[in-house]
Structure 1
Amino acid sequence: MQINQHWQGLDPDTRGASVAMGNFDGVHLGHQSVIDRARPHGPLGIVAFEPHPREYFAPNAPPFRLMNAEARSNRLAKLGVKQLFQLPFNAEMASFAPEEFARQVLAEGICVAHVVVGADFCFGKGRAGKAADLQALGQKYGFGVTIADLVKTGGREISSTAIRQALTEGLPREAAAMLGHWHRIDGEVIHGEKRGRELGYPTANMSVQGLHLPKLGVYAVKVDVLTGPQLGSYLGAASLGVRPMFGENTPNLETYIFDFKGDLYGQHLSIGLVDHLRPEMKFDGLPGLLVQMAADVARSREILTAL
């Protein structure tokens, strides 16, 4: 998949794409339905924004994103997307009236052949443009537009909001039913305090900065190592939280990968949350912590091998 960080000066081979357009936070089943509607009309592309417009307009609001840009691009590549137009959402982008956006960005910049959006799609300054407006502008500027119906499951619409709620409640399988895949946290392995190694459970540490936090605690997880010599899929147990045993206060994700040997510092991992095993706990001493860690690993193995 080719990632384009702008809409101007693009290579000629990016022209004529059939694009699904939106923020695609989570790339859930509703998003996938929009993407599937774009497939028949030309080389498959995505028009998305980075940062998320909500982050641009409210930079100090609590983190809400289900995915960072890396996780989103990884998921879109798995869906067969050929061109990702990851447009910078800045003062210029925020200032475009709906017609300016359709003409300058879609028609003249990206040179789209077809655009697919969800029925609730809004665009342009002040979110003034609606899906029907885009259809009319497509006719004016020479690209097709399809409006995809919203997707429901169990009688309710699939949304990033509903997925966030399921994760907040510690229900990753409920979230996965709406996502169509495990909820994943992707990123680079960073240096931690190396306490896990000293305790016999070496962990890969990853930042969760800027992301909506699922319920804190211990999870059974599926692990994909995306880069480096240990490339592949593994099973593990992960702790998401602030490590109260050691007086920490910045949340991170620490993953113990079963039967794994090697150095993962600087490599990129994708951690899929399968089951929430227990909340974060503070122990009176290391013996109690070690007993619980052994139990967490055993329970995670049991759950994951049954999948």
Structure 2
Amino acid sequence: MDIFDTWQGLGERYKNLHIGLGNFDGLHLGHQHLISELVNKAGKEGGVPGVFTFYPHPMKVLNPEGAPPMLLNQQAKQKMIAGMGVEVLLLVPFTPEFASLDPDLFIAEVLCRELKTCSVCIGYNYTFGRGGKGNPETLIKAGRDYGFEVNVIPPVTIEGTPVSSTLIRGLLADGEVVEARKYLGYCPFLDGEVVPGEMRGRTLGFPTANIDLENDILVPANGVYAVKVRVDGDNYLGVANIGVKPTFHGEGLRRNLEVHLLDFYGDLYGKKIKVYFTGRLREEKRFSSPGELVEQIRIDISKARIQSQQ
């Protein structure tokens, strides 16, 4: 997959471009369906499937205080899009200037003149252009005028509930990782580099890997989770804690993610690992003593092993 941050000249470089438009945060089942339709359409017509998206999230520019945390970082997002068969990713910086672009001008100058778009694939609630004034109807009308097709994808529903990034964020914020997986279509995960911690887990007999997390990525609710951890291409069961370690620190500290890998013997410092959240075991709590905490950790590990076999 080729990645660009500008649309200039791409219509000359890639003939017969079919473009999917959207933010695609989380690449949930709705996004996956849209991209699948896009790739199939391009394949049938001997064209090139491309995705046009933005970074950062538009709300980071339009309303920074109200901007939602992201479900995926850019590296993971790009890798997943490539795995869906997309050949061209247009990752455009979202700026105030771009936000002020008139919808009709975006269609005429970007989609038609620069990209020479053959077809556009969008979600049913897609908006674009200054003030979000552009919508599916805008594109359908323009398609008739300029000669490109528009495929509007209806909502994907699970048990009657439309799949959306907002819904998934709410589930993860409540620690509902199993429910979130239903709408994502994959196990929610976080990845990052293992950094030195307080070494407290090691002194308790349960060494943990402390993960350096990106600031704008959504972290599930505080608590203890059963996880699967990918390290250097290998998978391990584990128990993860998200929170502030109240037994030792009380409240008010920065949240962190630490993971105890089961049956792992080695040094993780400096390694990039990926932590998949397979289930929530319990809330984070304050224990009266380190000994009481150790007993609970043993219970958590036992539950994580049992859960992995279900």
**TM-score higher than 0.5:** yes
Do residues 196 (structure 1) and 198 (structure 2) align? Answer: no
Separation in structure 2 between the aligned mates of residue 26 and residue 162 of structure 1, nearest angstrom: 11
**Counterpart in 1 of 2:38?**
38
- Superposition pairs for residues 68-87 of structure 1, below 5 Å? 68-87=73-92
**Counterpart in 2 of 1:209?**
215
- Superposition pairs for residues 3-22 of structure 1, below 5 Å? 3-8=3-8, 13-14=13-14, 16-22=16-22
Farther-moved stretch of structure 1 (246-255 vs 278-287) = 246-255
- The 3-state SS of whatever aligns with 2:240 is strand
Q: TM-score, normalised by structure 2?
A: 0.87
Farther-moved stretch of structure 1 (297-306 vs 263-272) = 263-272
Q: Contact between 1:188 and 1:206, CA under 8 Å: does it hold in 2? A: yes
Sort the Cα spacing of 1:250 and 1:125 in 2 relative to 1 into closer, same or farther, 3 A: same
Q: Which segments of 5 or more consecutive residues in structure 1 lack a partner in the other structure?
A: none
Deviation per CA, 1:135-184: give whole Å up to 9, x if none. 23234445332111111111121112222222233221111111111112
Shift, 1:264, TM fit: 3.5
Sort the Cα spacing of 1:224 and 1:34 in 2 relative to 1 into closer, same or farther, 3 A: same
Separation in structure 1 between the aligned mates of residue 15 and residue 191 of structure 2, nearest angstrom: 30
Shift, 1:88, TM fit: 0.7
Q: Contact between 1:204 and 1:256, CA under 8 Å: does it hold in 2? A: no
- Superposition pairs for residues 149-188 of structure 1, below 5 Å? 149-188=154-193
Shift, 1:53, TM fit: 0.6
Deviation per CA, 1:176-204: give whole Å up to 9, x if none. 11111111223333333333334332314
Shift, 1:49, TM fit: 1.0
Q: Which of the numbers 76, 81, 104 marks the counterpart of 2:109? A: 104
Radius of gyration: which is bigger?
2
Q: Which of the numbers 233, 239, 243 marks the counterpart of 2:235? A: 233
Q: Which segments of 5 or more consecutive residues in structure 2 lack a partner in the other structure?
A: none
Over the residues paired in the alignment, what is the CA RMSD in angstroms? 2.4
Separation in structure 2 between the aligned mates of residue 125 and residue 238 of structure 1, nearest angstrom: 43
Sort the Cα spacing of 1:276 and 1:144 in 2 relative to 1 into closer, same or farther, 3 A: same
Sort the Cα spacing of 1:193 and 1:82 in 2 relative to 1 into closer, same or farther, 3 A: farther
**Counterpart in 1 of 2:296?**
292
- The 3-state SS of whatever aligns with 1:8 is coil
Shift, 1:89, TM fit: 0.5
Shift, 1:13, TM fit: 4.9
Q: Contact between 1:121 and 1:130, CA under 8 Å: does it hold in 2? A: yes
Query: In the comparison of the two structures, how many residue pairs are matched?
Result: 302
Matched-pair identity in %: 37
**Counterpart in 2 of 1:221?**
227
Shift, 1:129, TM fit: 0.4
Deviation per CA, 1:193-220: give whole Å up to 9, x if none. 3333343323141315213332210111
* One-letter identity of the residue aligned with 2:245: R
Do residues 50 (structure 1) and 55 (structure 2) align? Answer: yes
Q: TM-score, normalised by structure 1?
A: 0.88
Q: Which of the numbers 257, 263, 279 marks the counterpart of 1:259? A: 263
* One-letter identity of the residue aligned with 1:38: L
Q: Contact between 2:191 and 2:274, CA under 8 Å: does it hold in 1? A: yes
Sort the Cα spacing of 1:293 and 1:121 in 2 relative to 1 into closer, same or farther, 3 A: same
Farther-moved stretch of structure 1 (71-80 vs 282-291) = 71-80
Q: Contact between 2:59 and 2:68, CA under 8 Å: does it hold in 1? A: no
Sort the Cα spacing of 1:293 and 1:154 in 2 relative to 1 into closer, same or farther, 3 A: same
